[in-house]
């Protein structure tokens, strides 16, 4: 019988170190763990990082994970049983959950979405629209919204999880409205994640309803958020984000439709309404709401 290897002899200590550490790791994290403990574990110098990883997969609870997004593959490892939400949070740099996923986190949808939206902000130097200096001209708005929206193809299907993951990249707003909290992902204690706060979420779903279940789901979310949504805070955040489109008209419409107090709706009604606008892209049959100068789906 062959003598046990140094890895086998040190297995108890290795497992203890991993069990007491983060459950989502990258190759660099495992390399750091190996280098910091090689001497105390009395591992041979010829034990490479790949030897170490292979041993942990075969003899321990390490699992390699790979998400082959078209724009950039995301890879790493998990230790023990780890939910998809926690795994993505640990492997996507500066990632945060947004849109339909944020609606679910905030308890604003009665649906159980089969798509997870994880987001990253672009670099601070990236160009943002028209820099928010002025509203786009009417012709430019009409031209943009008569067409279907440009939807990212940076997504993957996970058949074993019965879910689709969409990796978004939003304009850089300096982390505005991104927060941390515990999400009930089905585990005993939940998981600490980054996600858009309520006000940022409502702005995001208005500007991108196609990532949020559609305009009916957005309308329902405004109804469900009544009494919790800080409308003044939402208005201030929207102004800070400096969009070239008059999204305040759409937000005012949703607030009024959901039965918010007149004083809250008035926050948006008293803002300049200088352009005709659209509740969503690519609408075929519409009704025009003259009060908000807003084209809405017919029968909505």
Tens-place pLDDT, residues 69-127: 999 999 999 999 999 999 999 999 999 999 999 999 999 998 888 999 999 999 886 44
Mean pLDDT of the 178-195 span: 88
Contact 232, 213 (CB under 8 A): no
Contacts for 114 with CB less than 8 Å, ≥ 6 apart: 162, 163, 164
**pTM across the whole model:** 0.93
- Residue ranges covered by each domain of the chain: 1-82, 83-297
Between CA 209 and CA 282 the distance in angstroms is 12
Q: What is the pLDDT of residues 197-243, one digit of tens each?
A: 999 999 999 999 999 999 999 999 999 999 999 999 999 999 999 99
Digit-coded pLDDT (tens) for 128-164: 444 555 799 999 999 999 999 999 999 999 998 899 9
Q: From the centroid of its chain, how far is CA 157?
A: 16
Question: Under CATH, which number does the domain 1-82 receive?
Answer: 1.10.10
DSSP conformational letter for 2 = P
Task: Indicate whether 53 pLDDT > 50.
Answer: yes
d(Cα 129, Cα 170) in Å, to the nearest integer? 11
Percent of the chain predicted with pLDDT > 70 = 95
Is 249 within 8 Å of 137 (Cβ atoms)? no
d(CA 2, CA 9): 13
Measured CA distances, 289 to 33, 160, 180 (Å): 61, 45, 38
* Residue 69, CA distances (Å) to 24, 89, 95, 101 in order: 19, 15, 14, 18
Judged by average pLDDT, the poorest of 1-15, 248-262, 273-287 is 1-15
Q: Which residues pair with 282 in a beta bridge?
A: none
pLDDT of residue 134: 79
Rounded distance between C-alpha atoms, residue 140 and residue 258, angstroms: 30
pLDDT score, position 130: 47
- Give the separation between CA 293 and CA 277, rounded to whole angstroms: 6
Q: Rounded CA gap, 147 and 273, in Å?
A: 23
Distances (CA, A) of 39 to 36, 55, 272: 8, 18, 68
Give, for 248, the enclosing helix (H) or strand (E): helix 247-257
Output the pLDDT for position 123.
87
Token reading at 153 = 């193809």
Q: Which of 182, 13, 5 is nearest to 21 (CA)?
A: 13
């Amino acid at each position: 019988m062959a003598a046990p290897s140094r890895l086998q002899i040190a297995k108890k200590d290795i497992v203890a170190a991993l069990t007491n550490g983060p459950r989502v790791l990258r190759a660099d994290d495992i390399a750091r763990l190996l280098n910091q403990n090689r001497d105390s574990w009395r591992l041979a110098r010829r034990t490479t990082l790949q030897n170490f990883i292979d041993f942990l997969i075969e003899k321990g609870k390490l699992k390699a994970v790979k998400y082959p997004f078209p724009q950039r593959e995301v890879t790493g490892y998990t230790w023990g049983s780890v939910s998809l939400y926690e795994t993505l949070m640990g492997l996507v740099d500066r990632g945060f959950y947004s849109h339909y996923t944020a609606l679910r986190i905030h308890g604003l949808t009665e649906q159980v979405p089969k798509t997870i939206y994880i987001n990253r902000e672009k670099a601070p130097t990236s160009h943002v629209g028209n820099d928010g200096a002025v509203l786009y001209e009417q012709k430019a708005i009409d031209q943009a919204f008569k067409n279907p929206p440009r939807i990212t193809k940076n997504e993957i299907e996970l058949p074993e999880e019965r879910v689709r993951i969409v990796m978004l990249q939003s304009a850089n707003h300096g982390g505005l409205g991104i927060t941390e909290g515990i999400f009930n992902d089905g585990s005993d204690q939940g998981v600490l994640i980054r996600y858009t706060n309520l006000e940022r979420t409502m702005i995001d779903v208005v500007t991108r309803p196609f990532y949020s279940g559609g305009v009916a789901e957005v309308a329902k979310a405004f109804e469900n958020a009544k009494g919790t949504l800080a409308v003044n805070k939402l208005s201030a955040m929207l102004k800070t984000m400096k969009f070239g489109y008059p999204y305040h008209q759409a937000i005012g419409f949703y607030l009024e439709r959901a039965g918010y107090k007149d004083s809250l709706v008035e926050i948006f009604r008293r803002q300049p309404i200088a352009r005709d606008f659209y509740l969503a892209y690519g609408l075929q049959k519409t009704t025009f709401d003259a009060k908000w100068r807003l084209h809405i789906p017919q029968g909505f």
